[in-house]
Amino acid sequence: EPEVTQTPSHQVTQMGQEVILRCVPISNHLYFYWYRQILGQKVEFLVSFYNNEISEKSEIFDDQFSVERPDGSNFTLKIRSTKLEDSAMYFCASRARTGQETQYFGPGTRLLVL
């Protein structure tokens, strides 16, 4: 069964460094999402992406964050200058098309900023 994959599974970085989190959505899916979950807390929406552009973003998704779909299969989240409070689990999700509402989540990348 097709699934969303994410790499790396864990990343440790120093404050101020740039990180890129990678996701491969399910093939033929058209809608892509990033969420984060700080340990023990609820899931927070970051951004949605459709037709090669951001369709919605939350207040969390400030200028430090960017997303890209560089090659038609990968979907990346970049954090330009990480802060301690960026430490969280980051989930990518994809959805097939309009009318198909189920989002399929990847296994997540656990980011630790020191």
Residues that bind another protein (CB under 8 A): 33, 35, 42-45, 48, 55-56, 58, 91, 93, 101-108
Nearer to another protein by C-beta: 59 or 63? 59
Q: How far is the CB of 81 from another protein (least distance, A)?
A: 25
Burial 69-93 (b: 16+ CB within 10 A, else e): beeeeebbbebeebeeebbbbbbbb
The span from the CA of 86 to the CA of 102, in Å, is 27
β-partners of residue 76 are: 22, 68
Q: How far is the CB of 107 from another protein (least distance, A)?
A: 5
In angstroms and rounded to an integer, the radius of gyration of the C-alpha atoms of the chain is 13
Q: How far is the CB of 33 from another protein (least distance, A)?
A: 8
Nearer to another protein by C-beta: 16 or 105? 105
Cis peptide upstream of residue 8 (ω within 30 degrees of 0): yes
Q: How far is the CB of 16 from another protein (least distance, A)?
A: 28
Nearer to another protein by C-beta: 53 or 71? 53
Max Cα–Cα distance, the chain, nearest Å: 42
Nearer to another protein by C-beta: 51 or 102? 102
